Structure formats: C-alpha cells, structure tokens
Structure 1
Amino acid sequence: MNKDVIYIDVEDDITTIISKIKASKERIIALVPPRRIGVLQSAVNIRLLARAAISADKRIVLITNDSVLAGLAATAKIPIAKTLQSKPEIAEIPVLKVDDDNDVIDGGKLAVGDMADSAKRSKKSDEDSVVDNAIAEANKKESKGLDSLKKMVKKPKVPDFNTFRKKFLLIGGGALLLIVFLVWAIWFAPHATVVISAKTTSMTVSDTVSLNETAATSAKSNVIKSVKKELAKEVSVEFSATGKKNVGEKATGIVVFSNSSSSSVTISAGTILKNSGLSYTLNSSVTVPGATLGWSCPGYKCPGSTSGSITASEGGAQYNAATGSMSISVDDISASLRSATSGGTDKTATVVTASDIESAKSKLSEKKIDGLKEQLLSSFGDSATVITESYVENRSDPNPSVAVDGEATGAVTLKSTITASALAIDKNELKNFVEAKLKEEISGKKSQRIYDNGVSKIAFSQFSKAHNVQTVRLTTNGKVGPDIKEANVKDQAKGKSYGEVQSAIESIEGVEDVDVKFSPFWVKSVPKDINKINVEFKIKDVK
C-alpha cells in the first residue's frame, strides 16, 4: 500500500495542513514537521489534525524525534515514527494533570522547547476556548467520549508500514506473475507440431537407348554416354615342325636377255626363269634395249641385249650345271645362260609346313584366359554400371615364331592376342537419365518428387551392335511421392485450425494422414509465428 509524505513549512497554519491532508490521494499520510514545530505546538491543533484525518478517512503519522510533539500526538492518538522507514507507534505520555471539566491537556506544563515559557498561563485564551468547543462538538459524533486522559493513553491499532510493505510486495508480485503468465501463455507458450504421414508410388522406366562414347546424355533423344574398356592378354601353343627341305647353298649363274622389239623392255627383280623344270630367280631388275637396224644381222634387224644374275629358288646341287636357253614369261624377250650354273650344295633340314601351322591354330583356339572377363568388368569400379551383355573377346591372327618353310631347330611357338572389351555407364549419367524420365512422368502432378531413382536396380537387356551403332534396353523402377517442404507446410498451417491444416495438406497426392498436436492444452490453433511450428514427415518404404 502506498503512502503520501507531506512536508510542513514553518509558515503553514493548521488550515493549510488540513487542506493538504484532505487533498492527498493516499490513505496513509506521513507528516514531516519543521525543526521548529510551530503550529503543531498546540494540543488543540494536534487534535484538529486527528479529527480532520478521521473525517477524510485518512491515517496520519508524524515523523519526528521531538519528545514534546510526541507527547502531544499521543493525546490525539496520532502515531509517530522517527523516520519514514521506521515502524509507527503511539508515544508514551508524560505524567500530566488533567482538567476534568474541559477534558483538555494543560500544555503549559509540557516541555515544548523554546515555547515552554510562553505557554505557562493561568487560564486559557478565548481563542483556545473556541477551538475546544469545536473539538468537543466533533467528539459528540464518536460512539464513546473520552472519559479520562488515562483512557486516551491506551494505544489504538496503529498502521504498520512493514505490513503494508509486505502486502504491497505480495500483491504487486502476484499481479506481476499474473501478467507474466498471461504474456507467456498468449505469446510464448503456444506451439504446434504438424505430423504428416505419406506413401510412395512405384514408377517404371523402360526404354531402348543408344550408347555413345562421345555424345552427351539426353533423355529426350534416348542417348546415354557410355564408357568402353579393353584388356589384352596373349595366348600361345608350341608345336614341332614336320617338314623336310634342302637348305643347302643355292646355285647361281648369268643370263643374257635379248629384245626383239624396237622398244626397250625392263625385267623386274624376282622374275622366274626356268631350265629343265628348275626355277631360278632374277636377282635385280634389268632393262633390255630395243632392236636396231644392222646390215650384218638377219633381216637387217639386230636385237637389243643385256645380262643379269640369277639364283636358284632352292638350295641343292641339282641346280648346278644348267646351260642353254631359259624360259621367261616376258614378251619379245628371250634368255639363255652365258655359262653353266654353279655353287649349289645339298643340306636337309626340318622346316615348318602349312599343315603344322593349321594344326597349331586349332589348339590355340581352345586356349582360354581364366578370369579375363571378371578382371575387365571389375576395372570399371563402383562408379559405373556394367552392361554385361556388351562383353566380347577378339583374337588376333596367330603368328608363328618360324614361318612356313622356315628351318625349325626346336619347338615352334604360335601366338595370338585376346582382346576383351565391354561397355559401362557412369552412375551419374544413369542418374541424370532416369531422373529426367521420372520428372517427365510427374511434371503434371502437384507437389511430387523423386524418393528413389532406381539406379541401383537398373537391368540391361537386348544389347546389340550393328553398323557401329550400339543399343541396349534399360529397365528400372523408381519411387515418387509428395514433395513436403517444411517452409511451405509452416506457411500453410500458421494461424489455422486443426481441420484447416488437415484439409490443405491432405489434398497433396500421396499424403495419407495429417495430425496437428497443440501445446499447451488450451491452444486450439497453430501459432502465426513459424518458429513455433514443428513439422514431422513420415513416408513409407523409404529409408
């Protein structure tokens, strides 16, 4: 409870003080007199103050240390306090003589400081009599009069500032707590949680796509960029040569060529010439000049001539001693040995035959490389999906260590290279292709998104390669469902009731159930502050 403090000036008269008391808005009033008590040195004025306070329904307290003023206040039942903070109480009254006829305290016998001497009078003035009459008139309104000064000394119920202060703190604290609670309950406490349950829908992607190692992936054109890898391994077999051949020195000789035509003729190296069924080879090309006119030649035509060296096609002494003419398949050219061939010797050696090679090839074709396919496919790593049907092996032409008719001094080796190749697609390329296809399917639907693109479950079939164009059929199943964005849900739900939130969100395809949980229990609508809204989204069949 509040109190008012009125400071009394030395110049204030009793009427002014009473006016201030009545004008105060507080029920408890503390009067602080000046050091020189002035107008309050009169017991009559003190009682007038008490009467005025009672009539105005006020309680007054004098703030003073003056014992005289304290005694005067006690006669009027006015409590005093030494300070504004100390507890008010009725002061003890000094032993006084009482005028039983007028029921008025003789102030002349009280020690009132500097005014004590002037207060000693044998009888009261006319002014004091008037005041006493006024007080007596006022006292008639009380249910009981003052019987004696001793009864007046009894302490009435005194206002306790500490009690008022405690009550004020309790009431004020309670009001503050109520305000804080209301603010918390209205602005801070309300929260809401929107719980959304949904399911996905399976969607199949199945297309025949072209595989290209250089083109960009395009879902619109059904083209996917592929990756090709190769792995080469060598296989070989050994065999023994079965052929026999004379590998002795080859016979040699000189051949004279004659040209009967008028134009020169060039005979290329390697031209075959024969004598008695044996073949000889021209070592280097020669040019035979054309025929010329001459009186000494038959028919006045002298043939052009030149010579060249020959070597037997095989070694052996049988090619020695060849003489005479030699057959040659060049028009207008005739050939004859200048002298007998010589230098051929006999030596028999084991050589590789064509049948030896063919037999080794048959064995080589059966040779396999264990784990070649697995080794190649694993080389793509986890970042790509391999098209297993694209795996193929190609073999190079076999190559013998000794050619046909070549002398074999030991085992002959026939070698071939197996080159394995396969195609794969990078998973990012597959992801882009499949997701583009799924987005085409859901493009006309409201608030849908991809939950599983199905890349991990892709299957390839019907691989083919024709005219350098490679195709394969791609098949997988993806999962699509409602696209629930927390910010959108909060924006849709704020300020709405349970039913309004349910109706707004359940309209999205795939949403099975919507629940709104309010907190505390008195909250009936979603707060408008999105920071006080939580969203829980649960979807089936998605990890």
Structure 2
Amino acid sequence: MSKKIYDIKPPKIAKKVEKELKEFLGEKKNHSAKITAVKKQGRHKKENRPIWIPASIVGAAILLLVCVFLFFKLPKATIQIWPKVDVLSFQQKITADKSAGSIDNTQAVMPAKYFEVIKNASQDFPATGNASNEGLASGTITIYNKYDPPSLLTLKAGTHFMSDSGKLFTVAQKVVIPAAKKAGNKITSGSIQVKITAVEGGESYNIAPSAFIVPGLKGTAYYYSISAASTKAMSGGYAGKVKKITDDDIQGAKDALVKKTTDDAVLALKDQIPADYILLDSAISSNVASAGTQTKSGTVADKFNYQATVKASALAFKKSDLDLFAKDYIVSQMPEGKTLLDNTLKVNYSASLVDVSAGKITLNLDLAGNIYNNIDKNSLSLSLLGENAGQINQAISNSLGENVSKVKIKFWPFWVSSTPANQSRVNVELKFE
C-alpha cells in the first residue's frame, strides 16, 4: 500500500513534536547557562587572586625612594658660635632743646617738649584766735552840782563815774553841769541827765539804781560838791567768747593751699606727659600766680576762705631720641669690623643744667654697649659644606681665631657625621648668653 504524505501534520502529532522540541531546546539552554556560569566563576576566581610579585616590586621601589629622599633631606647641621664680647663705654653730654626739630649728632642736641598746667583752688579754713564778745551795760544818771559859790562845771568826754559798788562808767561826750542856785543860806543844786556806759562788758555791770562819784575830782574843791545818781538799773551788759581770724591763720591757709594746689598742678602735669617721654623731677617748675583772702586779720568769724592759682611747667624728651643718639654715638666710636650687640645698650643720665623757662636741659650721659667681631654667617656656612666636626672647628679657628670663645656642633640624624652638601641644611647660630 502506498504511504500517505501530509503537508500539514495532524494536531496531536504537531503538539507532541513541539513539546519534544521545547524540552530539547530547554536542556540545551540550561547546559549553555551552566557552562557560562562556570566560566564566569573561574574568571572571578582569577581576578581575586593576589598579585604578589608586582606589589613587592612596587613596595621595594617606594622604600628605596623614601630612603634616598631621607638621605638627602634629613641630614642637617647646626653650628653654634659664641663670639667674644667686649664692653665699650663712654661719657658724653647732650642738650634737650625745645627749639630743636630733630636729633643733631654733631651738635649733641635732641628735641625737648614744653608742658604747662594752671590750677585754681579755693578752700575754707577755721579761725583759731579767741576774742571776747561783750555787751557794755549802760543807763542814765543825773549829775548834781552844789558847789558854793555857784559856778558851772565842765566835765570832758570820757570822765569816769564810779558807783557805790565800785563799778566804773564813762560819759561819751563833754558835759556842762549847771551851777547851783542860792537863795539866802539855801542852795539848790544844778543838775543834768547824761548817759553813761560801763568800761567793761559783763552782766555784773547791770547794777541796780546807785549813787556815783567822780574819782577824777578827788583832791579838788569839787570832789564833795559833784555827785550823781541813777533811778533805774543799768542794762545791756553781757560777756562771751568768739573766734577771730589771726595773722597765723592767714599764713597757715596760704601755706597749706599753695602746697596742695602745687601738688595737684604737678600731678596733672605728669598725666599730660606721653608714655614715651622722660620727665625729670628737676625739670618741673612751679610758681604761685596769685594767693590771698578778702578777710582781714582780727575779723570775728568762725572761718574764712582762701584762694590760690598755681602754674606748673616742665620740659621732657623722648626716650627713643636719647637711645638713638646713644646708639649712634657708640657705633661712631666702635673699632672697624665690630658690631653692637642688640639689647645691650645702657644709658644712664643725670641733669647738669635745667632751665625750663629757656626750654633747655643739659644731660650728663654714661653710655655702654657690648660689641663683637663681625661674623658673616652666610659665607661661613658655605665654607663648611661637607666638613666633619674636626674640620669645622679648625676652619672656624683659622678664620675667626680669638674672636670666638666657644663652638658647639650638632648633626642630625644620629648617623650623620658631616655637614650636608646643601647650604640650606647648614645653620650657623651666634650665641651670646
């Protein structure tokens, strides 16, 4: 029987073939994936494997470079030199002048500056004198004149009347006592009333009505013919103590206030002086412009006021100007080839002449400074490159000789025994301690 040939597979056969084909293809795909995974895993293991030989070579190269760098960069040498120091001293004079504008070394003149302060002061002072504060008793008396033959009697001002208790009073003005009147054998006394005042203060003169006589008439014919009497008690007498101003009070006030005002003026003057100026006590001048009081000696008062005006003036000069002059002077006197050591300059001064009004101060100077022989550190360090300690000491001894008192050499690190070839690694230090 002839076979049938189908151009199109039946559905069942087609599905079976398709299933088998998928399974085959799936297994092949899985197999390929496994192979790929294995390859990748192998490659990953390869990448993570340490490369020991190249890293060691690089490390050794770096270490070598570091050693070379340290060999050339670490070594250094410090050469400490103690130069021999001499003291140079001089005595000189200089004038500080307010008319000078700058330092003149040839004329030995430097600028000075004038300062001035005026102080006014007023103060109350107590009176120390004692005085009596008295009230004089006074009153009226009637003077009787019974002189026979009748006649007028004139008493001068200041005539004393004495009471029967012994108290004295006076009349202030001249008194004319009328004459008596006579009629037969009968005489009527002439009379006049006058005011009398006690010669002393005090309550004891406030006497009751009394009889009076005129002591000055004793021994004359009028002594028993002239009499007086008061009809009322005397009044106004009292006594007390009060303060009064004395000459010593005024002089003491002047001395005290002038001194205080002068001190205040000088203190204010010093406050005006800048910190960089030198002010000598002998260059301060003060004078009293005015001093006095309007109260007179003998015035009764518990206190009085005193006023004073004081002017203080001074000359001062800059410390920097003095130091500069001193330094320049010492440098000008130094031997050739010497250097003045910094911070060793000493300047002592004292005033020999001061005239504040003229604006001049003359100073005596004692100058001193330490000097040493010039040492060119740059040239010296250049000449010592590549030298060991012995060679360095010998070279310094040959070039500087007795101008050096001590040398100390330091190499670093510890294995270095000579100065580097690089001058920047050789440090020359001058020591003066």
TM-score by length of 2: 0.46
- Give TM-score, length-normalised by structure 1: 0.38
Structure possessing the higher relative contact order (Cα contacts under 8 Å, 6 or more residues apart) = 2
Rg larger for: 1
